[in-house]
Structure 1
């Protein structure tokens, strides 16, 4: 598509003149600016910090899609999301989901059970660390009917990434305070405990077993897990069999079912 410079500069002027800038206003401005550059169907903006539940800052979804992309996501599936793990690592830039996903992501039970509900052809994200361990991710989504982002459009977004990152840093400073308020009464801030950690403890898994099973659920193969944890593929398989035996299960779909059930308990 042709870049709509008129819409782009009008949005920049309106944003510069604005006296107050809420999450919604910042999201709408970023939506207008990115839509002036490329075509996409939806946008969602999350803030991530360490193991805390992500904060939804802005989205364009109707009620049904909001339930899938935000409400359901925040219950626990975010813990298996490649975007969440990339944000936690503090990486900056614009990335396609398929660049970040583990080697077995698109055949994993997480993908089949949750992510496939999104009916997306492609998702890409601007990753913008904003300080105090917080990363804001601006996700642009194209549905199956729209198709993936062409290489030329992705290149244009990559060129725009420094501006988007600067915009995000200006629009969403002070998010650490919001995470602190959301986390009051959930234990010491210096030792954050995620919902996943609580599940593994409840299921009586060792730290090594929990690390391996979490990577299995994210979509890593035994070979990929071995490389990440610096252990042999055989050791990974032994731990995996031990966990399955401990939980009385025989498949990844049963594992995911137990995981999601305990996340919501």
Structure 2
């Protein structure tokens, strides 16, 4: 049985749960739950666009019943008339793109009717990131009953968008069978400053990120509680941090950075 410490209430800008769900079948549900909690997002859709002109709907999650139909319509033809298209295709690999704020006048009458009026969507924010020849275009929507995004919610989305975009890209790039620990192990093995930790320090930190208590880490690794605390202290000293939240921040920063998608 795994013992867990009492989890603190997620802080503003905390997208840890979505990051740790990368590669898992429940990633879409955890992603939309994270977006709802952080910025009141009603629905999220992700599209893969290529410079060759192809488009696919990769993710449709939330409470818009016609989301699947909208995704299919966008991928089949409407991606060519998206007013954000120029901004998307001017993007560079690994650099997060935050798209302009939604304004009805940006969209043609038919596009506006299908994707907003008929679908009960009143507002939209979006981000995107290119990896190789694919642009992962992430759209966040609000419906009439919620009203438009407030200033605080827009600011929150701008804060978390790089990590969300990076997480989405990694999820769809890697095999769905990859476990959170495998994802973290790869990150610790290849990316500084995490790769500078000793193997045992990395094992302790990975389990901290996965939600293990100090006692559970000791049991899993077959070491004493004193040793676990010592490895944690040494790891934090090497990383120049003093808390679990700072460890999460390092991981999220690496995932959101240009090399985090390699």
Q: CA deviation at 1:169?
A: 3.7
1:95 corresponds in structure 2 to 99
2-structure distance, mates of 1:109, 1:70? 15
Aligned residues: 165
1:75 corresponds in structure 2 to 76
1:45/1:57 contact within 8 Å kept: yes
Which runs of 5 or more structure 1 residues have no equivalent in the other structure?
176-265
Match of 2:10 among 5, 13, 21: 5
| Structure with greater helix share of residues | 1
When the two chains are superposed, the root-mean-square deviation of aligned CA atoms in Å is 3.5
Q: TM-score of the superposition, structure 2-length normalised?
A: 0.51
Q: CA deviation at 1:127?
A: 1.1
1:43/1:140 contact within 8 Å kept: yes
Q: Indicate the SS of the match to 1:33.
A: helix
Highest RCO, 1 vs 2 (Cα 8 Å, sep ≥ 6): 2
Cα deviations across residues 196-222 of structure 1 (Å, max 9, x unaligned)? xxxxxxxxxxxxxxxxxxxxxxxxxxx
Q: CA deviation at 1:48?
A: 1.0
Match of 1:21 among 23, 47, 51: 23
Q: CA deviation at 1:49?
A: 0.9
1-structure distance, mates of 2:18, 2:68? 31
1-structure distance, mates of 2:44, 2:53? 22
1-structure distance, mates of 2:84, 2:28? 19
Cα deviations across residues 232-253 of structure 1 (Å, max 9, x unaligned)? xxxxxxxxxxxxxxxxxxxxxx
Aligned pair 1:119/2:120, yes or no? yes
1:122/1:149 contact within 8 Å kept: yes
Cα deviations across residues 58-103 of structure 1 (Å, max 9, x unaligned)? 112579503541122222122111244432222633334537x8xx
The 1:134/1:147 distance shift into structure 2, 3 A limit, reads same
Q: TM-score of the superposition, structure 1-length normalised?
A: 0.51
1:201 corresponds in structure 2 to none
Q: Indicate the SS of the match to 1:162.
A: helix
